[in-house]
Chains A and B, each alone.
Chain A
Amino acid sequence: MIIDTTIGKRGLTDHYPELGTGPVSTEPFYSEAHYELEKQRLFRRTWLSIGRVEQVAEPGDYFVFDLAVADTSILVVRGEDNQIRGFHNMCSHRGNKLVWEEKGRSMAFPCRLHGWTYLTDGSLRSAPDENMFYDLDKTRCGLTPVNLEVHEGFIFINLQPEPDETLSEYLGEVGRRMHGFPFGKATVRYAYRAELRCNWKVSLDAFCEGYHVMFLHKKWGRDTFTTPGNPLCQFPYAGISGRHAVAAVTGNPDYKPRPAEAKIYEWATKLQQNNENNGSWLPPGVNPHDSPEFSFELMHLFPNYLVHLVEGTYFTHQFWPLSPDRTLWEGCTYYEPADNAAERFRQEHLHLLRRESWLEDTRAMESVQAMLKSGAKDEFIFHDHEMLLRHTYKTVMDYVKDNAVTS
C-alpha cells in the first residue's frame, strides 16, 4: 500500500485518482448542518478508539469515556470473567448517568439516585424496594451494551446496533500494518489535552502534513524533521488503503543536539540497561528501506485517531468533536517504564519537545478556524503532500452522503 515518493517531484496524489486534485469546500469545516450529518452518519457508524487495554488491566478496572459527538457516555469495564465490555453509562431505572468517576476499580456499580446496582457484566444485581415495582424483570434491566473490540491493545467501540463490519475488516490493511509493534510494552503515558476552538478536521489536518514544519516550527522543528535533501518535510513514502492512510516523516540524522539535551541523551545512553535485547520496535513494513532519515510513520485510523510509530516509543493524537467549531484534542506519548533516573530524564525531554511543537500547532488551528466563517474564501487548496487531508475530506463526504465504501 506504500508509494515511495521522489522529494520535490509532484505525483503522489496521482496514484489515487478518486481523490481528484482540485480545491475542496471549506463549508464542512464550520457548518452546523454538516456537523449534524457527521454526528448521525459518520461517528455513529465507524469504529472509534477510546482507550488501551492497560487502562483496564485487572477484573473490575473501569474507565468512563464521555462521547459528546454521540450524546452519550461510555463505561468500559473488565469483567470478573476477564472480558472487556462497553456499555452506555446510563441507569435502566430513570436514566441517571451511572458512573461519575473517570476511572477506578469496582465489582459493582450502584446508581447514586435510587441505588440500582449493576455488576461488571452489565447485569442488574439489585433494585431497592423491588417488590414495589410492577412486573419488574431484572434480567431485562441490564446496562445497554455497545459493540467493543480490541486491536493491538487499542479498545474500539461502535455505536451501530449491529456493526456493518468487524473492527479488523474496518481497519483493513493499515490495521495489519500495526502488527508487530510492541504497543503493550509502552505502558507509561504522558498526555496533554485542550479544548480547541476549531473543527475536529482542522485539528486533524494540522497533524497530517509536513508542509508547515519549516515555517510554523522554524525555531527548532525544522532542524529535527527536515534535511538538505528534503527541506520542506515532504513524505518519503505515503499510502492510502480504504478509509485509512499512512505517511512517513523525515528525521534529520545530522541533527546536532543543543547543550542541555546533548547531556540528557549522553547519560541516558551511558546508563541504558538491557542494551542487548533492545531490538527494533518497527515492524518490517515500516521504514521498509531502512532509511537513516526516518523519524516516524504516521497512521491515520479514520475518523479521528493518529498513531505514530517511532523507534522505541509511540505517540498519538485524538480529536473529539464537541461542536462545529470546538474539539477536545488529546496528544499522548507512550514509553516503556524508565528503569533509572537518566532514562526518565530523557523521556521528560522527549515529551517536552512534542509539547512545545503542539503548543505551536494548536494556536495555528484556532487561527485557521477564526477566519473560516468569514466566507472570504470558500475553498482550501491542497499541495500534493497534503494528500491525507484530501483523503480525509473525501472519506468524510462519502459517509455524509451515505455512500461510504468499505475497505
Chain B
Amino acid sequence: MNEQTLLPPGFEDLNLYLDWALATESARSRKRLGSSMEEMQKFYDAMLPRVDDVMEHLGASALEAMQPAQQNLFNLCLSLSEVSFAVEVYGQPEVPNSMQELGEAERFVIVHD
C-alpha cells in the first residue's frame, strides 16, 4: 500500500499525522500522555480546520461502511477530541490532580476497548 492510500484522496496533508490514527481509546489516550504539548498543538492546529471537510466526506456514513482509509481519517477525528482537553483546557498532557500525574494512568481501565 503506498502512502497516498492511507487516507482518502484530498486529505494527503494529514498523512503527517497518521500516527494519531489509532483505533482504540486506550491507544489514543496513551499517545496523548506520551506526547509533548508542541506535538499535540501541531496536530490540533492541522486537524481542527479540516473537521468540516472530514465530516463533509464521511460524517453521514454508517460506521460499518467505512473503508480502511476513511477509518483512519475518522480515527484522526477521535484523536482530536482526545488532545483537545490537553490543548484547550489543561496546557499539559495529563489531567491535573489525577492518577495520571502519579504515573498511574493504567490503573484507570478503559473497559470498552
Contacts and interface: CB of A to CB of B under 8 A. Distances in A.
Given A258-B84, A341-B63, A360-B98, A194 B112 contact: no
B107 A363 contact: no
A261 B97 contact: no
Interface of B: 25, 44, 48, 51-52, 55, 58-63, 66, 74, 77-78, 80-82, 84-85, 88-90, 95-102, 107-112
Contact of B107 (A194, A261, A340, A364): A194
Contacts of A37: none
Contacts of A57: none
Contacts of B97: 216, 360, 363-364
Interface stretch (A21-29, A201-209, A348-356): A348-356
Contacts of A345: 55, 59, 74, 77-78, 81
A362 B98 CA distance: 7
B100 to A, nearest CB: 6
Interface string A63-92: 000000000000000000000000000000
B89 A219 contact: yes
Contacts of B85: 352, 356
Q: Chain B CB within 10 Å — which of A191, A341, A342, A344 has the most?
A: A341
Nearest to B106: A194
A15 B113 CA distance: 45
Give 3 closest A-B pairs by Cβ, nearest first.
Answer: A260-B84, A359-B98, A342-B59
A193 interface: yes
Contact of B108 (A261, A267, A359): A359
B48 A260 contact: yes
B112 A352 contact: no
A359 B99 contact: yes
Given A191-B112, A263-B48, A359-B99, A340 B60 contact: yes
A362 B108 contact: yes
Nearest to B66: A341
Secondary structure class of chain B's binding surface, majority of residues: helix
Contacts of B90: 219
Contacts of B102: 363
Given A260-B48, A260-B88, A342-B60, A192 B98 contact: no
A36 interface: no
A264 interface: yes
A195 interface: yes
A340 B62 contact: yes
Contacts of A330: 111
Contacts of A7: none
A270 B96 CA distance: 34
Nearest to B58: A341
B81 A341 contact: no
A173 to B, nearest CB: 32
Given A345-B74, A348-B78, A360-B96, 15 more contacts: A192-B110, A219-B90, A258-B84, A263-B48, A267-B51, A339-B62, A341-B59, A341-B74, A341-B77, A345-B59, A348-B25, A348-B81, A359-B98, A363-B99, A364-B97
